[in-house]
Amino acid sequence: MKLTGIILAGGLSSRMGQDKGLILYKDQALVQYSIAALEPLCSEILISTNNPEYKKFGYSLVPDIYKECGPIGGIYSALRVSQHDNNLICPCDMPFVTPELFHQILDEIEKDETPVVASSNDKAFPTLGYYHRNSVTSIEKQIKKGHYKLMMLLIELKAKQICIEDQMCLSNFNYLEDLM
């Protein structure tokens, strides 16, 4: 299966105070951890961002088509330009994600191409998972209705949630204190 890895790095980072994906954690930009988790599995990596500074990582940047609608807009824009039907989505602020986590997600894909997202203790992570490119039409409908919440999208797409036992790999950084 040919895969595109989509890294979501287009957030406002309002809680962090600066672009999260570019912040260093253990001498690496946070986005590099996502790249490392996706590279072994994906023949294409896209970074969903409006910030041209991400060019230094050597991957295609995808600006938002629909502005100011959050992660749903980044997912939509990246799926539109993806070279493959099968796409892994990863936020830029989860430095403990691993290729093994994505293997777990891929193992759950069924023929109906339903999205699969990571979950833990009844909390879904809609920005960490698998989306087929055929989701684009439903995503655009949600955006045009002004429904930007990804949980609503997951219901619309009848997404499957899989429980990830390794709680550490689901940790994300929102505040500078999280980097300590």
Q: Which residue shows structure tokens 């105070």?
A: 17
3-179: CATH number: 3.90.550.10
Cβ burial 21-31 (10 Å sphere, 16+ → b, else e): bbbebeeebbb
Q: How far apart are CA 165 and CA 64, in angstroms?
A: 33
Q: What is the pLDDT of residues 108-141, one digit of tens each?
A: 887 767 889 989 877 899 999 999 999 999 999 9
pLDDT tens-place values along the chain, 180 residues long:
899 999 999 865 555 556 889 999 899 999 999 999 999 999 999 999 999 999 999 999 999 999 999 999 999 999 999 999 999 999 999 999 999 999 999 998 877 678 899 898 778 999 999 999 999 999 999 999 999 999 999 999 999 999 998 888 888 876 566 666
Q: How far apart are CA 173 and CA 164, in angstroms?
A: 18
- Which residues contact residue 180 at a Cβ distance below 8 angstroms, ignoring those fewer than 6 apart? none
Residue 65 carries which DSSP code? S
Q: How far apart are CA 95 and CA 91, in angstroms?
A: 9
Count of Cβ atoms closer than 10 Å to residue 77 Cβ: 23
Domain residue ranges in the chain? 3-179
> Which residues does residue 61 pair with via DSSP β-bridges, in sequence order?
47
Tell me if 121 sits within 8 A of 173, measured CB to CB.
Answer: no
